[in-house]
Chain A
């Protein structure tokens, strides 16, 4: 019984081992979908905005983890 649970847990942690980090990524994509296509016409700027948000989340999370004692 423990083995299938362990396998499922491992499969989940393939994608999510830090809920805040995963939520930040999903929230950014959702906010992008909600706001950017209707407010920004240029595909180039849409692409830049999508990348910038992801870059900010990654950099912030790396620094936050590095500061942990």
Chain B
């Protein structure tokens, strides 16, 4: 990978890093809650099994995706990225406008810990299925989102390496912080990250959808930056409009 590749690929690295950071922080909160309430053995076992399942999904889906004609992959991934990104961006705008509450990791941790602690303990010597399944589900679901984001920003077929680097860096950071702090990462500016990732996913989604439909984007790959700026300005303009609309409706 050359210096030029890195310079051109930074938006995909940044998008994958930020999106993965948000997903891994959410998964960490649940794994920590499982560990604190039910013990670490099955919290970690569930997490490791989910990572293995994710590796299996990537190993199966990756080669299959490469066999599909590029235009069809771009259209499919573009549409999914648009659905995913527009949903994220709409929620981030509504949160920034104060229409819906910000995601609170501390509250999520407390609620999950309480639910798990209240459930019946596993019989001695038996597998704690609840702890295992809760950690497995959290890591698998957040991990699938990360895998999709990596695919979405690298949908040209051979560009998965750069977003994978971004996602890998986010994973290492969250695991390291989780291992050191042993508590949810409350200071991650989650809505700001979601706002930025929503903007980038909308830009990538619109770009791949256009490519898949045969649109020759003016400026080629550079139009992703143009789309990102346009979506950012639109989203920023929507924040005060949503605040006003909510104020009038109240």
A residues contacting B by CB (< 8 A) are 3, 6-7, 10-11, 14-18, 21-22, 25-26, 29, 32-33, 37, 43-44, 46-47, 50-51, 54-55, 57-59, 61-63, 65-69
Residue of A nearest to B88 (CB): A14
- In the complex, the number of residue pairs spanning A and B with C-beta atoms less than 8 Å apart equals 110
CB–CB B242/A63 < 8 A: yes
How far is B219's CA from A44's CA once the two chains are assembled, in angstroms? 10
Chain B nearest CB from A67 CB (Å) reads 5
Given contacts A33-B213, A37-B213, contact A44 B218 (CB under 8 A): yes
Chain A nearest CB from B158 CB (Å) reads 24
Tell me which residues across on chain A come within 8 A of B243, comparing CB atoms: 66
CB–CB B94/A16 < 8 A: no
Q: For the complex, is B79 an interface residue (Cβ under 8 Å from A)?
A: yes
Tell me which residues across on chain A come within 8 A of B117, comparing CB atoms: none
Tell me which residues across on chain B come within 8 A of A69, comparing CB atoms: 249-250
Q: Which of B93, B140, B145, B234 contacts A55, CB < 8 Å?
A: B234
Residue of A nearest to B210 (CB): A50
Q: Which of B82, B141, B245 contacts A54, CB < 8 Å?
A: B82
Q: For the complex, is B156 an interface residue (Cβ under 8 Å from A)?
A: no
Tell me which residues across on chain B come within 8 A of A6, comparing CB atoms: 137
Tell me which residues across on chain A come within 8 A of B148, comparing CB atoms: 14
CB–CB B87/A18 < 8 A: yes
Q: Which of B79, B89, B144, B223 contacts A58, CB < 8 Å?
A: B89
Chain A nearest CB from B201 CB (Å) reads 11
Interface residues of B in 176-235 (CB under 8 A from A): 202, 206, 209-210, 213-218, 223, 227, 230-231, 234-235
CB–CB B94/A47 < 8 A: no
CB–CB B238/A7 < 8 A: no
How far is B206's CA from A32's CA once the two chains are assembled, in angstroms? 12
Chain A nearest CB from B219 CB (Å) reads 9
Q: Which of B86, B215, B242 contacts A43, CB < 8 Å?
A: B215
Q: For the complex, is B83 an interface residue (Cβ under 8 Å from A)?
A: yes
Q: Which 3 A-B pairs have the closest CB atoms?
A: A66-B242, A66-B245, A15-B83
CB–CB A63/B245 < 8 A: yes
Residue of A nearest to B248 (CB): A67
Q: For the complex, is B44 an interface residue (Cβ under 8 Å from A)?
A: no
Q: Which of B94, B140, B216, B227 contacts A7, CB < 8 Å?
A: B140
Highest count of chain A CB atoms <10 Å: which of B80, B86, B235:
B86
Tell me which residues across on chain A come within 8 A of B40, comparing CB atoms: none
